[in-house]
Structure 1
Amino acid sequence: MEDLNNLRSELRMPEEPAELRTRTRSLIEQSPCEGRSVIRDGEFLAAPLWEEWSEALTGCGMDYDDFVEVARGYADEVRLWVVGERVWEHCASGLAGRAARRVPGGCGERAELAGAGVSR
């Protein structure tokens, strides 16, 4: 559990990508099927978040494709953020927690090494 908390603390809350949200919401309003498809694909939000979180996640064994899969699994909550029914902090922290719970491995060792002042 401590390892999970260590990783979550490394996944800092990025600034809300308001322009991305506005564009995606407009797409949903203009073409609901296409908008839902973009959200279900997950990459529209995974890409900018990966820029912020990649170092922490790759250090725990999660690559970009894994992270996109996590974002796809969180699509319903992401849609609620896009349409204004969830605040960014709820969406981003939920996605961070989901990613932290799904790291494929190595995080425990990494957290122990960091706690001992050792890096890989």
Structure 2
Amino acid sequence: MKIIKYISLFRYLIEDEGLNPTSAYRNIQRIRKLPHEFKQAVFDVLSSYVPDIEVEGVSFRELTENDEMKPIRAILMLDWLRREPAIATRYMATERNRSVMVGLPKQKVVEQVNEKDIIIED
């Protein structure tokens, strides 16, 4: 069994993620409520590994590399996406400039231009 040492996590959140002590404490409380696979991802981050975790078609790597999220924030975002996919996806669409279609099935898009229908299919 792997154990997350919360004092190490607290230091990591302050030093590497730039949180103030109050925010670090709140994030630790959120992390304590995570399911096992997400706690494993936090353990991987603290052990200098890149977790291989994906929710609703959004991966940890995508959030940290493309969106430049800090690792723990990315894990918490993936957990939110797991718990409330519609709300989290909408947030990502507005705040992170993502397509609202992330994680949803592909659909035909119809666009009206000069009284002609243009159908765009994937």
Structure-1-length-normalised TM-score: 0.29
Rg larger in structure: 2
Structure with more of its chain in helix, by fraction: 1
What is the TM-score with the length of structure 2 in the denominator?
0.29
Q: Please identify which structure carries the higher strand content.
A: 2
